[in-house]
Amino acid sequence: MSLTLDVARTIVAAARAHGREAGLKPLTVVVIDAGGHVVAVEREDGSSIKRFEVAFGKAHGALSLGMGSRALMARAEQQPYFVAAVTHAVGGALVPVPGGVLVKDDAGTVIGAVGISGDISDNDEAAALAGIEAAGLVGQPD
């Protein structure tokens, strides 16, 4: 299956609902498809101006190497030069902290990624997972 706009909208709505219920700071939620291209974005009032770029970087980085951005963080702590180099290689959009989560269908196929920025990274990731689950899909955070 592909990540349709309806699915993306479900993910965005559920991630934002999670944020409100959990009392998180304003979130910016980005959903990209399997090719790394934007499907849907919502930046909540009070988010700082570059939160789209940060959230996109989490999702795009995750998809670039086929692992959640939590795994990118682990790699950055072990081999910062590798992550810096890949960041250059992919054009700059790779943010290696939690909050970038791969989206998989029932067959385990990666159909896209979600990136969230606004609260601390662990909370951003929790919101992404909540959104993906609400869409009946499977999130891979690392």
Residues making contact with a copy of itself (CB under 8 A)? 2, 4-5, 8-9, 33-45, 47-54, 56-57, 61, 63-67, 73, 76-77, 79-97, 110
Minimum CB separation from a copy of itself for residue 67, in Å?
8
Residue 23 or 49 with smaller CB distance to a copy of itself:
49
Minimum CB separation from a copy of itself for residue 68, in Å?
12
Residue 22 or 89 with smaller CB distance to a copy of itself:
89
Locate all alpha helices (DSSP H) within 4-111, ordered by sequence.
5-21, 51-65, 69-78, 80-89
Candidates 3, 16, 10, 21; CA nearest to 116 is: 16
Residue 53 or 133 with smaller CB distance to a copy of itself:
53
Minimum CB separation from a copy of itself for residue 129, in Å?
20
User: Up-side HSE of residue 41: CA atoms within 13 Å toward CB?
Assistant: 18
Residue 97 or 101 with smaller CB distance to a copy of itself:
97
Minimum CB separation from a copy of itself for residue 26, in Å?
9
Q: Which residues contact 68 (CB under 8 A, 6 or more apart)?
A: 62, 98, 100, 101, 102, 125, 139, 140, 141, 142
Q: Are 129 and 102 in contact (CB under 8 A)?
A: no
